[in-house]
Amino acid sequence: MEMAHLWGILFLSLHAMVPITLAAIGETIEESAGLFNIGLEGILLLGALAGALGAEASGSASIGLLSGMTAGALVGLLFGWIGTTLRGSQLITGVGINLFALGFVALMLTVLGAPGFHSVSREIQVPLIPLGVGSLSPLVPVTIVLAFAVWWLLRRTQLGIWIRAAGDNPGAADVAGLPVNALRLGTAVAAGMLAGLAGAYLSVDWFGAVTKEITAGRGFIALAIVVFSGLNPLLALLGGFIFGLFDGLATWVATYPGIKEIIPWQFVAMAPYIVTLAVVAGGIGRVRFPKGLGVPYLRE
């Protein structure tokens, strides 16, 4: 096998790593604060749609990404508001977000006149960084930097201490004078923004299209990776890369002449999910989660 193939696989992997990792580190922030948002998949999907529409309306890829982030932030805000102030069930809210996104995106695609598929033209996609051996999306380095930044935020700042206290023992945080619900709401918005960005990346950058299956369970994979990482953003980055690697390998195997005839592509496409499952199953049991995770806080 030539070096070019290796580079190809690596680049495919890094690109596949981005959306999962962005969503996972966002979820890591909010789970640290005690919110459990199972609606990541829905936010990704909405972010993909908003990103495409934003880019098309403005003719700018950056505006597209920002639109995705805004849409994600709004959904995150709604989720956080229900999960804190209204003391609603986070599980039900998350499921609701997923179902809404599924229906809404399908509807919008129909309205746009292309049921099932809406492509984003080449000019308004995120420009790739040309490297000698291939081209890389600027969101790859952004994702890696963000993972380190979030690790630093949670583990090495005063704000991180506050966020984690709100998640592990909201009563203690409250007694210490912290605004528990405001902290949680803030993390929900941040998590929504990151998931929205991940979604917009799918449509405006990586795939250059919106379909109603574009997320392909990546939101759920991200949730699984959060579990595997034990709320460590750096492990989430690693988990995202492992998924990406197998995704990249799968794509390569499915398209490489001589191999694609031997191994059915459907079989290969399964690989990243199975590997993720295996890794998560291996990781569970050793991690601990905040005691207040998923439980609305109420001062008695």
| Euclidean distance between CA atoms 177 and 195, whole angstroms | 30
* For another protein, the closer CB: 70 or 169: 169
Which single residue is written with the structure tokens 């490489």? 256
Find residue 119's DSSP bridge partners.
209
Binder among 113, 177, 257, 285 for another protein (CB under 8 A): 177
From residue 116 to residue 155, what is the string marking binding to another protein with x (rule CB under 8 A)? ----------------------------------------
- Decide: helix, strand or coil at residue 114: coil
| Euclidean distance between CA atoms 48 and 67, whole angstroms | 9
Give the distance, in angstroms, between the CA of residue 299 and the centroid of all CA atoms in the same chain.
32
DSSP string, 138-182: THHHHHHHHHHHHHHHHHHSHHHHHHHHHHH-HHHHHHTT--HHH
At CA 211, angle to CA 209 and CA 216, rounded to 5? 110
Q: Which stretch binds another protein (CB under 8 A): 48-56, 166-174, 200-208, 271-279?
A: 166-174
* For another protein, the closer CB: 49 or 227: 227
Binder among 114, 149, 172, 278 for another protein (CB under 8 A): 172
* Long-range contacts formed by 169-173: CB under 8 A, 24+ apart: 169/291, 169/292, 170/34, 170/292, 170/297, 171/297, 171/299
Binder among 157, 182, 267, 274 for another protein (CB under 8 A): 157
CB of 235 to another protein, least distance (A): 16
Q: Which stretch binds another protein (CB under 8 A): 70-78, 123-131, 159-167, 247-255?
A: 159-167
| Euclidean distance between CA atoms 49 and 101, whole angstroms | 10
* For another protein, the closer CB: 158 or 266: 158
CB of 32 to another protein, least distance (A): 10
CB of 207 to another protein, least distance (A): 36
Binder among 30, 41, 168, 205 for another protein (CB under 8 A): 168
* For another protein, the closer CB: 177 or 285: 177
- The answer to the question of residue 278 lying near another protein (CB under 8 A) is no
- The answer to the question of residue 297 lying near another protein (CB under 8 A) is no
* For another protein, the closer CB: 159 or 277: 159
How many residues sit close enough to another protein to count as binding (CB under 8 A)?
21
- Cβ pair 79, 192 in contact under 8 A: yes
Find residue 129's DSSP bridge partners.
136
- The answer to the question of residue 300 lying near another protein (CB under 8 A) is yes
- The answer to the question of residue 291 lying near another protein (CB under 8 A) is yes
Give the distance, in angstroms, between the CA of residue 155 and the centroid of all CA atoms in the same chain.
21
The contact set with another protein (CB under 8 A) reads: 156-159, 161-162, 164-165, 168-169, 171-173, 175-178, 288, 290-291, 300
